[in-house]
Amino acid sequence: MRALPLLCVAVSGLQPSTRRQFVAGATSTALAPAAAVARDLQFKDLGDGLTVAQITEGRGDAVVGRDSIVLVELVGRLVGKQGWTFEDSREDGDPYRLQLGQGLVVEGLERALVGARVGEVRRTVVPSKLAYVDRVKEPVPRSPAFRNRLYGTVLNDNRKTQETAGLGADVAGVVAFDVKVLNIRPPR
């Protein structure tokens, strides 16, 4: 019975992780699907607290540009909530279509995708100021329960104030994404 989930994971390119694995590596890797992967990831600082690591190398000549239309499979997690998942497009098999360069996508995710190739899987940790600053930035979780989980955490002013006072930083709005690029199109 274990072979089937492992086969599905290999095909999708995104690896599942438990909350326990996430919490164990949250400070250094944000999402830790496997200890070996977490140890080998080299995060690159993109500025403003945004970090990205390549999990799987992409292929082909097409590269995500600042204004590309990108089809992606993604898993989003709340770093400030011990790695709770707020979106997993693999669950319904419906990838996200993201139009970059129009201000429609979470800024940190948009910046982290630039330069990726088809098949590439990247992990990015997005600080509050580059994450969900309102309820309209894509990717918007499709499930009402996941939307409530996300917005009840990242847009909760009480929580932000308390965490900033207690921890010296706003971690309530920090999110992490594992993103697999499925297709890249130039802008229309």
pLDDT at residue 46, as a whole number: 96
- Residue 135 pLDDT more than 80? yes
Average pLDDT across the chain, whole number = 82
pLDDT at residue 18, as a whole number: 57
At residue 4, what are phi and psi to the nearest 5 degrees?
A: -65, -50
pLDDT at residue 38, as a whole number: 56
Give the DSSP per-residue string, 70-136. Answer: EEEEEEEEEGGGTTEEEEETTTTT--EEEETTSS-B-HHHHHHHTT-EET-EEEEEE-GGGS-SSS-
Is residue 57 classed as helix, strand or coil in its secondary structure? coil
111: domain CATH number is: 3.10.50.40
Give CA–CA dist 187/70, Å, rounded.
Answer: 10
Give the DSSP per-residue string, 32-48. Answer: -SSHHHHHH---EEEET
pLDDT at residue 4, as a whole number: 30
pLDDT at residue 77, as a whole number: 96
Residues spanned by the domain of 90: 3-185
Average pLDDT for 54-82: 94
pLDDT tens digits, 80-120: 888 899 999 999 899 999 999 999 999 999 999 999 999 99
Percent of the chain that is helix, strand, coil (3-state, to 5): 30, 30, 40
Least confident range of 22-36, 55-69, 95-109, 167-181? 22-36
pLDDT tens digits, 9-54: 333 455 555 555 544 444 344 334 444 455 678 999 999 999 999 9
pLDDT at residue 5, as a whole number: 31
Least confident range of 53-67, 152-166, 172-186? 152-166
Give CA–CA dist 45/185, Å, rounded.
Answer: 26
What does pTM read for this prediction? 0.77
Long-range contacts of 13-16 (CB under 8 A, 24+ apart): 13/56, 13/73, 13/119, 13/121, 13/180, 14/73, 14/74, 14/75, 14/90, 14/121, 14/178, 14/180, 15/55, 15/178
Q: How many distinct structural domains can be found in the chain?
A: 1
Q: For residues 90 and 171, which has the higher predicted lDDT (pLDDT)?
A: 90
Q: Give me the percent of the chain exceeding a pLDDT of 90.
A: 61
pLDDT at residue 170, as a whole number: 77
